[in-house]
Amino acid sequence: MNKTTAVYPGSFDPLTIGHEDIVRRSLRIVDRLIVAVAETATQSKSGLFSIDERVDLIREVFADEPRVEATSFSGLLVDFAQGREARVIIRGLRAVSDFEYEFQMALMNRSLWPEVEVLFMAPATRHTFLSSSLVREVGRLGGDVTDFVSPGVKTRMDRAFGRTAGE
Ligand code: PNS
| 43-82 confidence digits (pLDDT tens) | 777 789 999 999 999 999 999 999 999 999 999 999 999 9
Q: Which residues, in sequence order, are CB contacts of 57 under 8 Å at separation 6+? A: 12, 14, 15, 49, 152, 153, 156
Task: Give pLDDT, residue 165.
Answer: 55
The whole model's pTM is what? 0.96
Q: Whose CA is nearest to atom 6 of ligand 1?
A: 10
Task: Give pLDDT, residue 43.
Answer: 79
Residue 166 lies in a domain: no
Ligand 1 atom nearest to CA at 75:
16
Q: Which residues pair with 73 in a beta bridge?
A: 38
Ligand 1 atom nearest to CA at 80:
18
Q: What residues in the chain have per-residue pLDDT under 50?
A: none
Residue 167 lies in a domain: no
How many domains are contained in the chain? 1
Residue 63 lies in a domain: yes
Instruction: Decide whether any atom of ligand 1 lies within 6 Å of the 109 Cβ.
Output: yes
Distance (Å, whole) CA 164 – CA 167:
6
Residue 76 lies in a domain: yes
Task: Give pLDDT, residue 147.
Answer: 97
Task: Give pLDDT, residue 167.
Answer: 53
Ligand 1 pocket test, pick from 12, 82, 105 with the greatest ligand atom count within 8 Å of Cβ, gives 105
Ligand 1 pocket test, pick from 22, 43, 77, 112 with the greatest ligand atom count within 8 Å of Cβ, gives 77
Q: Which residues pair with 89 in a beta bridge?
A: 7, 118
Residue 41 lies in a domain: yes
Residue 165 lies in a domain: no
Residue 140 lies in a domain: yes
Catalytic residues: 19, 45, 94, 132
What is the residue range of 64's domain? 5-160
Distance (Å, whole) CA 43 – CA 23:
22
Q: Respond yes or no on whether the N-terminal peptide bond of residue 14 is cis (omega within 30° of 0).
A: yes
DSSP three-state, residue 80:
helix
Q: Which residues pair with 117 in a beta bridge?
A: 88
34, containing H or E segment: strand 32-38
First to last CA, the chain: 52
CATH number of the domain within which 94 lies: 3.40.50.620
